[in-house]
Chain A
């Protein structure tokens, strides 16, 4: 199928492109990009008033398969990705079993080939069973195609082992995605430590549990000359540390998530377990610092940390509910509302943080509309408002704090390798 998308505002960060142009797609690739294109035999899509951008890239999602197909599967997770405009996503290794040996990774690769609607890359575990005791064989994981290593959900507590992991990642040219948390400091907390936790009578997770581990791991990354990526940055102190480390030439990149720029600990006050995630929602001061970090380039990427959990797991006492929320379907809207509408980022900058930058960090050849690239692209209606209601959620799980919010900016078309998988808001895959 050949397509010509006409009259769109075309945004492509690596080409520093932002203008009204036409984009032609044929043979799965972007065949042309320019003014007033009229190639023969192409289906025309008039995208006047809409934005065409590279397909979004999420470097942090939990697809739960294999092991917890009751929460999410590669099929349902990638359908949710389409709705959110993500054409490439990254599956975190905390499946059951964890992605810690070549055989398990082959199993997931087969599932992806069978069921995935968008590109899915696999992150391998740093340690066996993500238990923080024994390193996996990075070389053999890489040979199976993992694009990064992480024990996400857990931190590697042993600093000597962490240093070894960074050295090994360096030698295999893999980025290490760091879940930065000192669980001794988290001390069974469930929300941010402070006034809100105090008045609610809940145990608090202090910011120290995050940023002191960030500090340690930046030091270890420097020692190993390795590439480290700090996942889900939630507090001001972490932003400050990463900014300093970048200035000092440490090979660090960082992501935050839509909820850390839109919600604060005060959202937890009704004991809604869909506000429970790790790291926890922090304070307004932290939100501002993270936005500044996005603005000045300290934070490279916006990732979803899409973490599905079933209703029956979440509909329990706050203390007992699992951490995490889904995010693939709402990430772009929340980012537009918090960053574009509030004039923190330009469209070009935002799209970079949701496509080109994460692709670059992971070494993926994605996130650009240059001529000849695989046609992974999306059409966004930037002004479209919609009610995000439970019946519209594609993810198998519905655990989101944004339920019944009025959101803005909606993806209308999604192309993966030139195939139209969503058209005018309807999934075709």
Chain B
């Protein structure tokens, strides 16, 4: 499917939806990253807008509060000249008891081209994608996947280190409840990175090693030899139960500090999907330090989401 000639990639994108990186091939992931590179250039222009999605409508359908992801999708769609509508559960008929599929069908009836959905239930985008013909882009579902976050993480990593293949990447934090983690594991392993997950035992979910990762409970072990780390947000709003160590204890054992980074590879890339709990999963010094690419991730998110919106909208539909 891929045909590389003078760096040109020819690829027939066929998927109407982006539900997760589990469902994509290595070539498809590479093609999204490649397409994003083109859009990255657009985001640095004085006039940051192209007509690629003029006349198309993108709806952000958010069942969970989110500012950064929704804003990033909104900017991405606007820079492609799409019309954008935002719906959150607070303001929709969902509160009146409408089901997910009914909501989807009503949106479809409004001739919306792409529904960007954020939902607290894992698999909600999968269910929606089966019910409607509009493209579905998963903006994070439960503990399942957050594919555009992982894509922007990989985009950032690739732009920093030149490649993904062969890199040692450690994902640190609440592995059990993290959709960012799952999407990163699928994407990184497909592109040839060696992935380690690191957390206290109670935050390592059953069978995760079958996703092709190494497990460690020891932060120093996870940092040793790592080319990059992706530090997950500790979801303090979640009840983690009595078995979980105190915040202070967690920071002591798993917090990323300058002292710890000194023992790592000098140019180790430090990522975080945000928002950061400073002093819990990492110190401010690290978050704002030279190894941190956290704000670049935010910037790259727009280009990656432009690529995704563009590709799903132009998908060659099999027997549509």
Instruction: State whether the Cβ of A319 lies closer than 8 Å to any Cβ in chain B.
Output: yes
- Tell me which residues across on chain B come within 8 A of A316, comparing CB atoms: 99-101, 127
CA distance A50 to B268 in the complex (A): 72
Q: Which residue of A lies closest to B205 (CB)?
A: A198
CA distance A196 to B123 in the complex (A): 13
Instruction: State whether the Cβ of B161 lies closer than 8 Å to any Cβ in chain A.
Output: no
CA distance A74 to B239 in the complex (A): 44
- Tell me which residues across on chain A come within 8 A of B22, comparing CB atoms: 199
Q: A200 touching B99 by the CB < 8 A rule?
A: no
Q: B127 touching A318 by the CB < 8 A rule?
A: yes
Q: A271 touching B179 by the CB < 8 A rule?
A: no
Contacting A at CB under 8 A, from B110-164, are 119, 121-124, 126-127, 131, 141-145
Contacting A at CB under 8 A, from B68-101, are 99-101
Q: A200 touching B101 by the CB < 8 A rule?
A: no
- Tell me which residues across on chain A come within 8 A of B50, comparing CB atoms: none
Q: A199 touching B99 by the CB < 8 A rule?
A: no
CA distance A320 to B142 in the complex (A): 13
* Contact count band on B: 20 to 34
Q: Which residue of B lies closest to A198 (CB)?
A: B205
Instruction: State whether the Cβ of B210 lies closer than 8 Å to any Cβ in chain A.
Output: yes
- Tell me which residues across on chain A come within 8 A of B131, comparing CB atoms: 315
Q: A199 touching B119 by the CB < 8 A rule?
A: no
CA distance A323 to B284 in the complex (A): 47
- Tell me which residues across on chain B come within 8 A of A270, comparing CB atoms: 126
Q: A318-B122, A320-B121 are in contact. Are A201 and B179 (CB under 8 A)?
A: yes
Q: A316-B99, A317-B119 are in contact. Are A199 and B211 (CB under 8 A)?
A: yes
Q: B122 touching A319 by the CB < 8 A rule?
A: yes
Contacting B at CB under 8 A, from A306-333, are 312, 315-320
CA distance A317 to B122 in the complex (A): 8
Q: B207 touching A198 by the CB < 8 A rule?
A: yes
Q: A197 touching B141 by the CB < 8 A rule?
A: no
Q: B141 touching A201 by the CB < 8 A rule?
A: yes
Instruction: State whether the Cβ of B206 lies closer than 8 Å to any Cβ in chain A.
Output: yes
Q: Which residue of A lies closest to B175 (CB)?
A: A198
Instruction: State whether the Cβ of B208 lies closer than 8 Å to any Cβ in chain A.
Output: yes
Q: A312 touching B179 by the CB < 8 A rule?
A: no
Residue-wise interface mask of A (176-210) relative to B, using a CB-CB cutoff of 8 A (1 in contact, 0 not) = 00000000000000000111111111101000000
CA distance A316 to B63 in the complex (A): 14
Q: B122 touching A200 by the CB < 8 A rule?
A: yes
Instruction: State whether the Cβ of B182 lies closer than 8 Å to any Cβ in chain A.
Output: yes
Q: A201 touching B100 by the CB < 8 A rule?
A: no
> Chain B nearest CB: distance from A315 CB in Å?
5
Q: Which residue of A lies closest to B209 (CB)?
A: A195
Q: Which of A195, A201, A318 lies in contact with B145, CB distance below 8 A? A: A201
Q: A318 touching B206 by the CB < 8 A rule?
A: no
Q: B182 touching A199 by the CB < 8 A rule?
A: yes
Q: B207 touching A194 by the CB < 8 A rule?
A: yes
- Tell me which residues across on chain A come within 8 A of B211, comparing CB atoms: 195, 198-199
Q: A318 touching B121 by the CB < 8 A rule?
A: yes
Residue with the highest number of chain B CB atoms closer than 10 Å, among A202, A316, A317 = A317
Q: A194-B207, A204-B206 are in contact. Are A317 and B182 (CB under 8 A)?
A: no
CA distance A197 to B142 in the complex (A): 12
> Chain B nearest CB: distance from A60 CB in Å?
29
CA distance A238 to B131 in the complex (A): 38
CA distance A315 to B100 in the complex (A): 8
- Tell me which residues across on chain B come within 8 A of A312, comparing CB atoms: 99
- Tell me which residues across on chain A come within 8 A of B144, comparing CB atoms: 200-202
CA distance A319 to B119 in the complex (A): 12
- Tell me which residues across on chain A come within 8 A of B145, comparing CB atoms: 201
- Tell me which residues across on chain B come within 8 A of A315, comparing CB atoms: 99, 101, 127, 131
- Tell me which residues across on chain B come within 8 A of A273, comparing CB atoms: 127
Q: Which residue of A lies closest to B211 (CB)?
A: A199
- Tell me which residues across on chain A come within 8 A of B205, comparing CB atoms: 197-198
- Tell me which residues across on chain B come within 8 A of A196, comparing CB atoms: 207
Q: Which residue of A lies closest to B178 (CB)?
A: A201
- Tell me which residues across on chain B come within 8 A of A201, comparing CB atoms: 122-123, 141-145, 179, 182
- Tell me which residues across on chain A come within 8 A of B100, comparing CB atoms: 316-317
Q: Which of B123, B124, B143, B207 lies in contact with A195, CB distance below 8 A? A: B207
Q: A200 touching B206 by the CB < 8 A rule?
A: no
CA distance A196 to B142 in the complex (A): 15
Q: Which of A193, A194, A202 lies in contact with B122, CB distance below 8 A? A: A202
Q: Which residue of A lies closest to B126 (CB)?
A: A271
CA distance A273 to B123 in the complex (A): 10
- Tell me which residues across on chain A come within 8 A of B143, comparing CB atoms: 201-202
Q: A312-B99, A316-B100 are in contact. Are A200 and B208 (CB under 8 A)?
A: no
Residue-wise interface mask of A (261-287) relative to B, using a CB-CB cutoff of 8 A (1 in contact, 0 not) = 000000000110100000000000000
> Chain B nearest CB: distance from A311 CB in Å?
10
CA distance A204 to B206 in the complex (A): 9
- Tell me which residues across on chain A come within 8 A of B207, comparing CB atoms: 194-196, 198-199
Q: B206 touching A198 by the CB < 8 A rule?
A: yes
Q: B124 touching A197 by the CB < 8 A rule?
A: no
Q: Which of A195, A202, A204 lies in contact with B210, CB distance below 8 A? A: A195
Contacting A at CB under 8 A, from B253-289, are none
CA distance A201 to B22 in the complex (A): 12
Q: A193-B206, A316-B100 are in contact. Are A200 and B121 (CB under 8 A)?
A: no
- Tell me which residues across on chain B come within 8 A of A202, comparing CB atoms: 122-123, 142-144
* 25 sampled A-B residue pairs with Cβ under 8 A: A195-B208, A195-B210, A195-B211, A197-B206, A198-B207, A198-B208, A199-B22, A199-B207, A199-B210, A201-B123, A201-B141, A201-B142, A201-B144, A202-B123, A271-B122, A271-B123, A273-B127, A316-B100, A316-B127, A317-B119, A317-B121, A317-B124, A318-B122, A319-B121, A320-B121
